[in-house]
Structure 1
Amino acid sequence: MTSVAAYDEIADWYENDFLARSRPGDPLGVQRQLSELLGPGDGVCLEVGCGTGVHAAQVRELGWTALGVDLSAGMLEYGKRRLPVARADATRLPVRDGSVPAVIAMMAHTDMPDYPGVLREVGRVLRPGGVFVHVGVHPAFCGGFADRSDPEAVVIRRGYLDGHWTKQSWTTEGVRNRVGATHYPLPVLLRAVLDAGLTLTGFTEGGEPVPTTWALRAIKP
């Protein structure tokens, strides 16, 4: 169940197959949400769980300097082609206290068995006034409890309230059935942001007709 081993094994598939099928366009609203919530800026924008670095170009287009950290050496072999990277556990970031103006987590929180711990690190490394943007699968409509095989009628089964790790998935063409995912109910995610000392300032959803992604913006007071 270790994310580093799992993602090392699927890095080639992720880069060459999965990403190719999810682009072009922005069907889940991930790019839109990043633009709306992060917005233009300058200085370092640190991406935790950067993977293969697919969001780095958009971060730079917004004016930021993109840097990334990830636990998987296999994913970083691709990621280092797109941005400067470091291999690190997101619960122990190799970054000084209060030193960066922006941090993002893009479609990565379900890969992190201690996402509240990651958020505490985000709060530590952000400088006062710094912004944090989380974009992830929708906690209420995506997970092992959700059957999305019919996009017009998503079926929600028992399990939403249970924070758990699972490989159960409605599709065999995704990431969860290969490496598993940790589910965090919405209140758990929101409480973790507050416990990290951050102030929530905005939310948005992406995907239709039933949202697939959910995003938040927070600042460090």
Structure 2
Amino acid sequence: MASTAAYDEIADWYENDFLPRSRPGDPIGVQRQLDELLGPGGGLCLEVGCGTGVHAEQIRGLGWTPVGVDLSAGMLAYGKKRLPVARADATCLPVGDGAVPAVVAMLVHTDMPDYPAVLREVGRVLRPGGVFVHVGVHPAFCGGFADRSDPAAVVIRPGYLDGHWTKDSWTDEGVRNRVGATHYPLPVLLQAVLDAGLTLTSFSEGGEPVPTTLAVRATKITP
């Protein structure tokens, strides 16, 4: 698949250049959102699209046991140093029905050409009462249609409603211009969570003055 080859090609840049530039600190609220929406717990927490495993330490610090799945062998070469991993397509997770109490997807939904199918798999592997946390780029304010070169005045062009894949980006220092991104309008994204058999329970935004990220918490209701 093209997305796999693309991330294999940028894995070294992602680990050694991009990640150090995005940390320390929490400029777009990703760590805060994970803390708030996942919260303390115990047992396995499956991260779909775990990449280099950068969120594993934080998940572990909340009391969970992180495990990861990703399609890119290049990213997993780094990820396996931080958590147990398996190379697999997130639309066909190598996990049994109702097997895990928590699943997280961290800044990956635009990398997945069929995120609704991934969410259906999340619903399948979650046990009743289990928690799912999605943290992603904000569908209303981030995408090929959004020029964020001036953070105080984000310019939204036509294209938000289209739902498309693109490499168009306001910066040449990010991920989208290298591997592309799939855009899901906000109603499409939230409906996909509901269609996966999950119940939305909490929401959060991160970044300022115009939000960069949107996070949601959903649960699998006991039949």
Q: TM-score range by the shorter chain?
A: over 0.9
Q: Which amino acid aligns with 2:101?
A: P
Q: Secondary structure at the match of 2:152?
A: coil
1:58-207 to 2 correspondence within 5 Å?
58-207=58-207
Q: Secondary structure at the match of 2:203?
A: strand
Report how many aligned residue pairs link the two structures. Answer: 221
Q: CA deviation at 1:53?
A: 0.2
Q: CA deviation at 1:24?
A: 0.2
Q: Secondary structure at the match of 2:75?
A: helix
Q: Which amino acid aligns with 1:30?
A: V
What is the percent sequence identity of the aligned residues?
Answer: 86
CA distance in 1, matches of 2:105, 2:99: 17
Q: Secondary structure at the match of 1:129?
A: strand
User: Which 5+ residue runs of structure 2 have no aligned equivalent?
Assistant: none
Q: Which amino acid aligns with 1:68?
A: G
CA distance in 2, matches of 1:215, 1:113: 19
Q: CA deviation at 1:67?
A: 0.2
1:214 maps to 2:190: no
Q: Deviations over 1:8-49 (max 9, x none)?
A: 000000000000100000000000000000000000000000
CA distance in 2, matches of 1:3, 1:63: 32
CA distance in 2, matches of 1:41, 1:97: 20
Q: Secondary structure at the match of 1:15?
A: helix
CA distance in 2, matches of 1:101, 1:3: 28
The Cα RMSD (Å) is 0.5
CA distance in 1, matches of 2:162, 2:82: 37
CA distance in 2, matches of 1:144, 1:59: 31
CA distance in 2, matches of 1:154, 1:204: 20
Aligned structure 1 segments of 4 or more residues deviating by more than 4 angstroms: none
Q: Secondary structure at the match of 2:102?
A: strand
Q: Secondary structure at the match of 1:33?
A: helix
Q: Secondary structure at the match of 1:149?
A: coil
CA distance in 2, matches of 1:176, 1:148: 13
Q: Secondary structure at the match of 2:121?
A: helix
Q: Which amino acid aligns with 2:52?
A: T
- In structure 1, the residue matched to 2:45 is 45
- Tell me the TM-score normalised to structure 2 length: 0.99
Q: CA deviation at 1:2?
A: 1.3
CA distance in 2, matches of 1:156, 1:77: 37
User: Which 5+ residue runs of structure 1 have no aligned equivalent?
Assistant: none
Q: Deviations over 1:28-86 (max 9, x none)?
A: 00000000000000000000000000000000000000000000000000000000000
